[in-house]
Chain A
Amino acid sequence: MNFQDIIHELQTYWKKQGCIVVQPYDVEKGAGTFNPATFFGSLTSKPTKACYVEPCRRPADGRYGENPNRLGKYYQFQVILKPAPENVQEIYLNSLKAIGLDPKTHDVRWIEDDWQSPTLGASGVGWEIWLDGMEITQFTYFQIMAGQTLKPITAEITYGLERIAMYCQKKDTIFDIMWNDDTTYGELVKESEKQFSHYNFEEANIENLRRYVLENEEECKKLCKKGLYLPAYDCAMKVSHYFNTLEARGAISVSDRTNIIGKIRGLAKLCAAEYVKANEPEEK
């Protein structure tokens, strides 16, 4: 199954399960969980079902397109279900069938893996899911998001699309994955991997990045005060991305790191609080 078909089949499957097929959010982010549909979506009592492809940027993970297993930008397919349905594990296993991986004929193992994001002030309980020994999915029941205890509980399912494609297509390197019948993943992304690695590791202007961090932080706080939590959250995501770039650039010390992560968490909490204020009826 081609890369684009895996995406298509997953979207089709989850659409049938009642999910809105949301499109990727256009601000850089390190993981699908940052997508506002997930971040805000998990916060209030209103039921939500959504799925989407989310490009994730991890500047420090780039390898100039030379390491067959590492990318500075890759794709997650994420599903969020709130409240988590009673048969959510079964629904997930059936989604594997939809992409040609019948759980009956493979070994599917659920390994304890409790996710947490100090940046988002979030944590959850769940598993990484192995298919014949390879991790293909992260499955999390969110417990806390942006410092808020959640109710109802959201299930977040994150497929590692490249891993799954490599497995289905029996490829040894990410770059050999067939995107469609005649184009490889490598052809589409290799040059970008190379250039962004140069940028992230060598060229990114450290002073500017530090300034962007400060500016966006200010902006986020200001916007939150006015109840504009959506643009405020964009700013918070940008702070996170510039921080990741600074880290790739080797410009972050240990104490810096804790400090900035704390800042971003603070911003995420502000945005979440504004969102809940605006969208959740007052509790008794």
Chain B
Amino acid sequence: MNNALLEIGTEHLPARFLLPTLEQLKNNAAAILQEHRLKYAGLRTFGTYRKLALEIKELASASEDIQKEVKGPPAKLLKDANGNFTPQAAGFAAKNGLKPEQLITVETEKGPFIYAKAVIKGEKTQKLLPAIFAEIIKSLNFPKNMVWEDTCFRFARPIRSILALYGDKVVKFEVAGIKSNRYTYPLISFGRKPIKINTPDEYTEVLKNQPQPILVDIEERKTALLKTVQACAKNLGYKADLDESLITETLSFTEHPVALSGDMDIRFLTLPRELITTVLKTQIRMFPVVNDNDELQPHFIAVRDGVSVNQDEVRTGFKNVMTARLTDAVFFYENDLKTGLDAMREKLSTVNFIDGMGNMLEKTERVEKLAAKLAEILNLSGEQKTAVKEAAHYAYADLTSGVVYEFSELQGYMGGVYADKLGKNKKTAKAIGEFYYPLTASSALPSTLEGAVVSLAGKIDSLAANFAMGQIPTGSEDPYALRRQAMGAIRIIAENNFDISIKQIVEYANSLLPTENKHTAELEDFLWQRLANILEMQGSCADEISALQNTSKAPANILAAGKALAKTRTSESLLSVAQAAKRVGNILKKADLSLSKQINTALFEEKQEKDLFDALENTEKELKPYLSLATQENYEAILHILAKLELPLNNFFDKVMVNVENKAVKDNRLNLLGKINIVLTGSIADISKLQKRG
């Protein structure tokens, strides 16, 4: 039992590949080791942009034995008349690595059969590892691959070394023309003198103790990174804005992170904050510096790979680059302010939206109309309507701005800044600034009612337009992020308690499109699926969701009903009513649909149908006060009332036959059930969809 180590030495891997690849390395290794029946105590990965390493703790010295029992031909074929093994028996034995003498016969239900029963001995790990290590390397997948050498091996970037040890022995194999050995390499800028690794155990320590230390353990490197960045910030008397994705990226382009700080010309602080931090974080990978009130300070913290030699010149270099980038930003920003929102908006006519759905100016005009319509339906005040109109008018204007052209992630935000700076109403500016909210499935919605309406209009138009052109997301294919937009739209409607259904809003959006939307049903279902996702997240089960499925109701009501249903469904009575409702539905399905709908009490023959009728009338009366306001409490009350139908319904089905000879009596009973059905399926949810739990 020894520890094993595999290190794939590569040229600079793309930063975004590192962490997912290490994850894969671990998972694939576990699967491959299992397949080879090799036991071990644990797996650990290490990695930098030039090293992908795997440590296998206490790897067994041989793979596990396995018992094998294979059924062969019938026993009569074991030996021939002369008592010699038949060719069939000999062949079967050979196939299973046995001599014919070792075969046994076993009594089965179908008579006696020949069996090969053997123990497959495990193999020495030393012998298995070369193939296993090669297999692990080959198993790694990347978003993008390349070839670089004669064997045309595919990997993210060229492999330049392979370190492979089992205990103190090199595991010898070759991949991509590279022979494994016991060497790793220093920071690339410090040459390529091999570093000898004697055993897996000393790997991280040896790298750490180099003149230029390499922190190959991700967690250790992260701790070091945070420490060096925070120390820099502390020296300045401030804090660093420790953006999580920048930290991850920085970890992925350093083997030994060393932070250095520098000053930023104070004039840049007049730029919008997000613009400065976007330039710093995404263009030049620097950490912004803030004070205790989270106000941006005129400094930067950059991270270089390796120790601090020539720090001043490096600092000057970083500062110059930052200055050049921020100068560009100032240029774009000032230019945009000069251009103004109206000119930006006009220019939208040169930006294509999606083929067949016009340009972005035409889209803007549709969104303006849709937003105005929604403001009307939702009873917004005159003042609110004005802000909605103005915000929708300029919602997409910033797409043609210089800043957004350079930094597309600032769309919306910059529009809001420009609206504010150019003297638009504060509400308008806020709505534009939050137009693309929520930016992720679960992040914040537009914070104002005006913003919510405009943002909703934009999303629904995009969805309707894409569906009309047949661009419907399938599987993982969703190039226009329609799922996220649909989720955003549903959340806006539900969380703002907008009294509008999926059907209605789709209809409004469709009516503004230049062509007919032939995929309306798909779009409604697509939106419903997002609502179903929310139901699921708040604890609804599959049968409850199908009971709740309804695109003609306001999503907020459905969510409230969902909560009520999840809470009430444990009631036995309700489930019993659900069973009865199913039966009602089945009977009605087979029935003649041209019913008069009138119930004539004079035609009742049985007490149970009269009782059910009375119960129904009573239920309707009881339900009335709860139907006007769609709250969870009311929905719970409704469900309790419906549950009370258990007894009359069950009695009815016990004693009353619906399909009798007398047509008048039969129709009357069907009419009664028809009315019951409306109450059971239409009051809150389709109760008949609820399943009994096992």
Residues of A with Cβ closer than 8 Å to B?
69, 83-84, 86-87, 89-90, 93, 103-112, 114, 125, 127, 131-134, 141, 143, 151-153, 167, 254
Contacts and interface: CB of A to CB of B under 8 A. Distances in A.
A112 B190 CA distance: 21
Interface of B: 11-12, 14-16, 49, 144, 146-150, 152, 157-158, 160, 188-192, 253, 284, 302, 304-306, 309-310, 313-314, 316-318, 320-322, 324, 352
Nearest to B161: A86
A87 B306 CA distance: 21
B148 A84 contact: yes
B15 A105 contact: no
Given A105-B313, A112-B14, A133-B318, A89 B188 contact: yes
Contact of A132 (B14, B147, B318): B318
5 contacts: A89-B188, A104-B309, A107-B302, A133-B322, A141-B148
Given A105-B309, A151-B152, A69 B324 contact: yes
A109 B283 CA distance: 13
Contacts of B157: 125
Given A104-B306, A133-B284, 16 more contacts: A69-B324, A103-B188, A104-B309, A106-B313, A107-B304, A107-B317, A112-B12, A127-B12, A132-B313, A133-B318, A141-B148, A151-B147, A151-B150, A151-B152, A153-B147, A153-B148
Contacts of B284: 133
A90 B191 contact: yes
Nearest to A108: B189
A8 B166 CA distance: 50
Contacts of A110: 11-12, 49, 253
B288 to A, nearest CB: 15
A90 B313 CA distance: 22
A132 B321 contact: yes
Nearest to A112: B14
A76 to B, nearest CB: 20
A103 B157 CA distance: 21
Contact of A153 (B149, B305, B306): B149
B310 A106 contact: yes
A98 to B, nearest CB: 15
A267 B144 CA distance: 28
A28 to B, nearest CB: 28
B314 A152 contact: no
A1 to B, nearest CB: 15
Which 6 A-B residue pairings sit nearest by Cβ, starting from the closest? A132-B317, A112-B14, A105-B310, A107-B304, A133-B321, A103-B189
Contacts of A90: 188, 191-192
Contacts of A106: 189, 310, 313-314, 317
Of A69, A90, A106, most buried by chain B (CB within 10 Å of CB) is A106
A152 B158 CA distance: 14
B536 to A, nearest CB: 37
Contacts of A84: 148, 158
Contacts of B144: 114, 125
A254 B350 CA distance: 10
Contacts of A109: 253, 305
Nearest to B311: A105
Contacts of B189: 93, 103-104, 106, 108
Contacts of A111: 15, 253
Given A105-B309, A254-B352, A87 B192 contact: yes
A134 B321 contact: yes
